[in-house]
Amino acid sequence: MNARMASEDKTNSTPKRTPALLGRLTLLAVLVGVISTLSYSMSMPTMIRQGHPDFGAWWDLNQFYFMEGAAMALGLLVGIRIGRGFVSDTAARACGANVALVLAIIVLIPLMHLCGDAARIAWGSRVIVTQGVTIGHMHLAGKPLDKVLMTGVYFFKTAGFAALSGLALFAVAAVAFIGTGKSSEEQTAAA
């Protein structure tokens, strides 16, 4: 069945093209995510503070939230895009993605804390590692590569939970529009 779905995707590649907005937002989330994750794990604010004390202090306070927000946004966008790929109805795909995007913006902050908390649960453990402990642990122990790896794992765990949420948001949004538009097959035939 997967092969059949994949072949359908290939034949309908033109109508299933990712909209520019979703693509740009994904790129932005990746960019912010990479910068903030590297900055957080490599203690960049200390270096920034030498040249720009005020900005360095502000970045030190907020870089974690930028990283968490970027992971959340990336996950939600990936989830919406994956869900979009499995719907052939044009209205459900286009309007569903737009509505899901609006819903994602609304729930971004509350979900960011929820998914962040879930991602901080250690493997096989019953203890949630708090942000403070994570910062302390990363700054006190480990080589630079270890710190990047640990922060990267946290980033991807948050993004993973967010991707599931994105899929769910798209499912809720798309369901209202199912049956109201043409299918990809009909669009291809018309073209």
Partner 1 sequence: MLTLRLLVLFIHVTAVIVALGGSLFSTFALTPILAEELDAPSRLKVARRVIRRLGAIVLTALAVLVFTGILNVMFLGSVSTVLIVKLVLVAVVIVLALYQYGSLGAQVWRLSERGPDPAIAALQARFRRVGITVGTLVLIIVYLSLGLTRGGGAIILAALR
- Rounded Cα distance between 9 and 182, Å, is 16
141 near partner 1, rule: CB under 8 A: no
Q: Map residue 121 onto helix, strand or coil.
A: strand
Q: Kindly report the CA angle at 104 between 100 and 110, in degrees rounded to 5? A: 150
User: Binding partner 1 by CB under 8 A: which of 66, 156, 171, 187?
Assistant: 171
167 binding partner 1? (CB under 8 A): yes
Binding test (CB under 8 A) with partner 1, winner from 3, 20, 122, 190:
122
The pair phi, psi for residue 104, each rounded to 5°, is -65, -40
The answer to whether 131 and 91 have CB atoms below 8 angstroms apart is no
Q: Does residue 125 bind partner 1 (CB under 8 A)?
A: yes
Binding test (CB under 8 A) with partner 1, winner from 114, 129, 148, 150: 114
Span interacting with partner 1, options 25-33, 50-58, 65-73, 121-129, rule CB under 8 A: 121-129
Q: Which is nearer to partner 1, 48 or 162 (CB)?
A: 162
Number of neighbours of residue 180 by Cβ within 10 angstroms? 11
Q: Check residue 108 for interaction with partner 1 (CB under 8 A).
A: no
CB 151 within 8 A of CB 40: yes
Which tokens go with 150? 């640990």
For helices 90-119 and 144-175, what crossing angle results, to 10°?
Answer: 140
Least distance in angstroms from the C-beta of 43 to partner 1: 27
Contact positions toward partner 1, by CB under 8 A?
A: 1, 5, 8, 82-83, 86-89, 92-93, 96, 114-115, 117-118, 121-128, 160-161, 163-165, 167-172, 174-176, 178-179, 181-183, 185-186
